[in-house]
Each structure stands twice: as structure tokens, then as C-alpha cells.
């Protein structure tokens, strides 16, 4: 079943079933059914058919989240148009090169984002048609008949989804229809989703996935604020008011709800399954959130990326019961076992392209995580050099995606994450990996999280450590804490090279999930501190 027909399929099966429940303007909550959303999507498709937009045309989608946004997404897919999804939060200036490389011909935006497009010159060289959702609906009003079906191959471009750019300029992953179908199938099987769930998605992409699965999505705030700014009171109220039984959230959003729930003595009696993605959630946050769940409630962490999702899965019970203690000893972060349908290997660490016959490393040896499967995207848009570095064409023609992450398999077949390849610190005395080393310090009760960075000094690269304190330790004696952390460093072989510890009030993080630490910024700040003495 294609993406474009999934919504219609669900609408035919259960037209009155709610697809979205969200805060209303005139009432506490408003509901849109699958039948209504499919009808709205059909209206948009009819309007789009009135323009000379041929299948395969790339179109930028800069419409704020709303019911019409989701309807327009499905209409675009139905017409075989390729949506280009760029998160404006990456920085308006950074959107310019992204649109230059995708060369879109159509721009869908609100009046505000249309004005921003003009101001920054987005797509000036290639855009031929600029539309608001209202423009498309007005065109639909003059078309009485339904548009003809559009045939799209499983291997054709279906969408271009940009990464958050947390470690450089965002990259446009090219999704085929087969990639999307594989992703939906693998996710639903790995998480045991039946389609009968009432879900709370804290990210727009998860809301689209809910539509494709036939799930009811409860959206406390249709604006989808950044995860670190979500209102935990709104989320908590929505879970209880609508008996939400599943929830998708980044670690940053999970942390806000966990702290709020614990502080207010809240229990979510209906919440059976919580899925977090974007970065590994700190064990402390997992422990707090699990307290809010009913007996038998589960919290899962998904590992993956824009280019390949999901890759592996882990239950918080395994984290809290076993792997957390190993992380505190320098093992890295356990991200579980590969999900069925995704083939995962550990390749030798290299900043160069690797041949197809590169042998995988044995268990216990740290290398680069590489994956292939139906959900793995085949290429980037306009980045041939990145394709050569990040994609390996196997002898069978499959694409193996190099995640850019380091890790290893243990003897039980579990995957352990050791940090970004680009963020490893190579010193004269050896290579240090972020997650194993940071895990030693994160176990200290005063530390919320830490960040290993490299500082260039006479004699080579030196390892420095940034520390963000836990809320309860914000006013603690920092000199005393520094002495304790340096003593901890001296006591462990992984950390003995740490001689400098710096404190930061709030680490810079990625714009999408607010969870991945941007160590490049911290490294630059540490380098400046080094120069200033």
C-alpha cells in the first residue's frame, strides 16, 4: 500500500475514527476524523491538479503544523509531488543553501513564510510557483471533478528530509516510497503497534506516522514547540483527559514531563508505552518517567537517524536494571538490539570512503555503526562527495549507510553507542570516545551531563571536559565539585588524561530534538578559554 493511499484506506475502514484531537479555539478540544482529513486532503489534491505541477516536481513545504498542513502533505504525496522538508529552526540563513541544492520549483508556505522566502531569496533561481494553502483551496473550488490517479514507482523520490545539522550543514536524505513503506512496517512491528492506539506525538513527523498507521493522535499544542520548551502541564492534562496509551517524545520533552510529573505526584494510569528518540535518554530521566507509568508500562529508546530509522531498540527496564551500571563504568550507552529488518555491522573507524568488501569488526571492538535495510535511504540530494563517504554499495546492489556513530556489539548481541565519529578526541596518548568517558562523570550525583572536547595546545590535542550540573546542584561549591571530578578522572584509565574541567549552564543542543550535544561549539569555547588562560 502506497503512502498516498494509506490515509484513504483508513478513512474507508473507519471514517468516524478520530485522527487528531487538539486544543480548539472555541472549545477545549476539537476532533478531526479520518474521513474528514481524507476529504480535506482530496480537496487539496483537486486544487493541486489545477496547476501544471508534474509528478516528481520538488516542492518546499514551509507551512506551520495544522490540520491543513497534514492534509496538504497527503495531497502532495497523492499527486506525486516530492516535498522538501527543511526545519526553519536550523537558522534562516542555513535554509538558503539547502534549497539551492534541492532546486525546488514550487514553494508552499504561509503568508509569513512566503515573506521570509522573499527576504532571504530562498529558491530564487528555480522557483516557478509560490502558493499558500488558501491559494490551493481556491483553485479547488473551481474544479468539479476529482483528479486522475498518479502512478509513482516504489524507487522514485517520495520526499527529501533534511537532517538537523547538529554536526554541520544539514543534509537532505532522499526517501523513496519503498523507504517510507519499510520504515512504517519496521516501526509498527518493532514497537508492537496495532493501529488501535491513542498516541501523543511531540514532533510533527510522529503525527504523520500516526496517520499512516491508523492511530489517533492527541496533540496538546498544534504549534509543536521545541522539545525543551514543551509545556509539561499541557502534556500531562492531555494524557489523562484522553486516556493516551502511547507517547512519542525526544529526551528533552521526556525530561520536562518527568520532572513535572514527579514534582506533582502524577500517575498516567492509561499510558502503556512510551517511545523516545533523537538521542539516548539519560538513565535518571528514564527512572523518573517510569515512576509515572502504571504497572506493566514500558519506556523504549529508539536509535536511528534521519537517513535510517529505526535501527535498534531498548527497554528502560534493561537500562535501569543492568546497562546503566555498566555505562557508569565506561562501557558507553547501550542502545539495544537491532530491530528485525535492519542489518547492523561495526566497521573499522575511518574518515575516508570504505570499499564494499570491508570486513566487520568482532564483538567488543569499537568501530563505526553501519546499517542496511528497507528503511535505509540510498543517497543525499546534491552531495555526491557525502554519498561516497557515507554510503557503501554492496555487491548485491544494496546500500550500507555509515551512521557516523561509533559503537560496538557485546557478546549478547547488544549494540553500545560510543559517540559521534567526528567528535572523538585523538590525543598523543590515544583516542578518547565521548560516551564511554562521559558516562564515568555522568554517574556523579551533581552532574546532569558532561561533554568531552579536544583543545589544541603545545604538544598536541588535550582532552577537556565540560559539565552541566543537575538542577539540584546548580548552587553547589564548584571548586569542591571540580576537585571531586578530577579525582574521579585520576582513578579511571579512560579519564586519566582529563586535566581541565569547565562548567556550562546549559549545553548547546540540536534544533530538532534539543537532545544531542553540539560538542563542536563547546570545543570552540574551550579553545578560546585556553587562549585566554
CATH 3.30.300.30 for domain 424-532, yes or no, is yes
Please give the pLDDT value at position 3.
80
- Give the C-alpha separation, 125 to 128, whole Å: 9
Would you write out the chain's pLDDT as a tens digit for each of its 533 residues?
778 789 999 999 999 999 999 998 877 999 999 999 999 999 999 999 999 899 999 999 999 999 999 999 999 999 999 999 998 888 888 899 999 999 999 999 999 999 999 999 999 999 999 999 999 999 998 876 667 778 788 889 999 999 988 777 899 999 999 999 999 999 999 999 999 999 999 888 899 999 999 999 999 999 999 999 999 999 999 999 999 999 999 999 999 999 999 999 999 999 999 999 999 999 999 999 999 999 999 999 999 999 999 999 999 999 999 999 999 999 999 999 999 999 999 999 999 999 999 999 999 999 999 999 999 999 999 999 999 999 999 878 889 999 999 999 999 999 999 999 999 999 999 999 999 999 999 999 999 999 999 999 988 999 999 999 999 999 999 999 999 999 999 999 999 999 899 999 999 999 889 999 999 999 999 999 998 87
Q: Where are the beta strands (DSSP E) in 339-493?
A: 342-347, 367-373, 391-393, 399-409, 415-420, 425-427, 430-432, 447-457, 460-469
- Give the C-alpha separation, 456 to 463, whole Å: 9
Please give the pLDDT value at position 144.
66
In the three-class reduction of DSSP (H, G, I as helix; E, B as strand; rest coil), residue 508 is classed as coil
The C-alpha angle 197, 199, 201, rounded to 5 degrees, equals: 155
Measured between alpha carbons, how far is residue 306 from residues 61, 222, 248 in Å? Answer: 17, 22, 16
Residue ranges of the domains in the chain? 3-7+38-152, 424-532
Cell of 285: 530521566
Q: Which CATH class is domain 3-7+38-152?
A: alpha beta
Please give the pLDDT value at position 143.
78
* Residues 6 or more apart in contact with residue 15 via CB below 8 angstroms: 33, 34, 35, 38
- Give the C-alpha separation, 226 to 505, whole Å: 19
The DSSP code for 145 is S
* Residues 6 or more apart in contact with residue 114 via CB below 8 angstroms: 107, 130, 132
Same fold for the domain at 3-7+38-152 and the one at 424-532?
Answer: no
Read off the pTM: 0.96
Please give the pLDDT value at position 526.
97
Report residue 25: phi and psi, to 5°.
-85, -35
Amino acid at each position: 500500500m502506497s503512502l498516498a493511499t494509506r490515509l484513504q484506506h483508513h478513512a474507508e475502514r473507519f471514517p468516524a475514527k478520530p485522527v487528531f484531537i487538539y486544543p480548539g479555539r472555541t472549545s477545549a478540544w476539537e476532533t478531526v476524523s479520518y474521513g474528514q482529513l481524507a476529504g480535506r486532503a482530496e480537496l487539496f489534491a483537486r486544487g493541486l491538479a489545477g496547476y501544471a505541477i508534474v509528478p516528481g516536481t520538488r516542492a518546499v513545504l514551509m507551512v506551520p503544523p495544522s490540520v491543513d498542513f497534514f492534509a496538504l502533505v497527503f495531497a502532495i504525496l497523492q499527486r506525486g509531488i516530492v516535498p522538501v522538508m527543511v526545519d526553519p529552526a536550523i537558522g534562516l540563513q542555513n535554509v538558503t543553501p539547502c534549497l539551492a541544492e534541492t532546486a525546488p520549483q514550487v514553494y508552499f508556505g504561509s503568508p509569513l513564510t512566503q515573506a521570509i522566502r522573499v527576504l532571504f531569496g530562498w529558491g530564487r533561481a528555480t522557483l516557478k510557483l509560490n502558493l499558500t494553502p488558501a491559494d490551493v483551496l481556491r483553485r479547488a473550488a473551481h474544479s468539479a471533478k476529482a483528479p486522475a490517479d498518479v502512478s509513482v514507482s516504489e524507487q522514485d523520490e517520495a520526499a527529501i528530509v533534511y537532517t538537523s545539522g547538529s554536526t554541520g550543514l544539514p543534509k537532505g536524505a532522499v526517501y523513496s516510497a519503498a523507504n517510507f513503506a519499510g520504515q512504517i512496517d519496521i516501526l509498527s512491528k518493532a514497537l508492537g503497534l496495532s493501529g488501535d492506539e491513542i498516541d501523543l506525538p511531540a514532533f510533527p513527523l510522529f503525527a504523520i506516522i500516526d496517520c499512516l498507521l491508523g492511530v489517533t493522535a492527541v496533540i496538546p499544542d498544534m504549534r509543536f514547540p521545541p522539545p525543551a520548551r514543551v509545556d509539561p502541564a499541557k502534556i500531562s492534562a492531555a494524557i489523562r483527559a484522553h486516556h493516551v496509551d502511547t507517547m512519542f517524545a525526544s529526551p528533552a520533552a521526556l525530561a520536562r514531563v518527568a520532572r513535572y510529573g514527579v514534582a506533582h505526584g502524577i500517575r498516567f494510569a492509561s499510558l502503556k508505552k512510551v517511545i523516545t528518540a533523537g538521542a539516548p535518554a539519560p538513565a535518571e530521566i528514564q527512572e523518573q518517567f517510569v515512576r509515572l507509568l502504571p504497572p506493566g508500562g514500558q519506556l523504549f529508546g529508539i536509535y536511528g537517524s534521519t537517513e535510517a530509522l529505526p535501527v535498534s531498540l531498548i527497554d528502560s527496564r534493561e537500562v535501569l536494571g543492568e546497562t546503566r551500571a555498566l555505562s557508569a563504568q565506561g562501557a558507553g550507552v547501550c542502545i539495544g538490539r537491532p530491530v528485525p529488518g535492519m542489518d547492523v555491522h561495526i566497521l573499522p573507524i575511518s574518515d575516508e570512503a570504505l570499499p564494499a568488501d570491508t570486513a566487520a569488526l568482532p564483538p567488543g571492538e569499537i568501530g563505526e555503526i553501519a546499517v542496511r535495510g528497507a528503511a535505509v535511504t540510498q543517497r543525499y540530494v546534491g552531495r555526491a562527495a557525502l554519498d561516497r563517504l557515507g554510503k557503501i554499495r554492496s555487491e548485491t546492489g544494496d546500500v550500507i549507510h555509515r551512521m557516523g556513530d561509533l559503537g560496538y556489539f557485546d557478546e549478547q548481541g547488544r549494540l553500545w553507542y560510543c559517540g559521534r565519529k567526528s567528535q572523538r578526541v585523538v590525543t598523543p596518548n590515544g583516542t578518547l570516545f565521548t560516551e564511554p568517558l562521559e558516562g564515568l562523570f555522568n554517574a556523579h550525583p551533581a552532574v546532569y551531563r558532561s561533554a568531552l572536547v579536544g583543545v589544541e595546545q603545545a604538544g598536541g590535542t588535550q582532552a577537556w571536559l565540560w559539565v552541566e550540573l543537575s538542577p539540584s546542584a546548580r548552587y553547589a561549591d564548584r571548586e569542591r565539585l571540580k576537585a571531586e571530578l578530577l579525582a574521579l578522572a585520576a582513578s579511571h584509565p579512560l579519564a586519566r588524561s582529563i586535566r581541565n574541567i569547565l562548567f556550562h549552564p546549559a549545553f548547546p543542543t540540536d534544533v530538532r530534538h534539543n537532545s544531542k550535544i553540539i560538542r563542536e561549539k563547546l570545543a570552540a569555547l574551550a579553545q578560546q578559554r585556553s587562549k585566554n588562560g
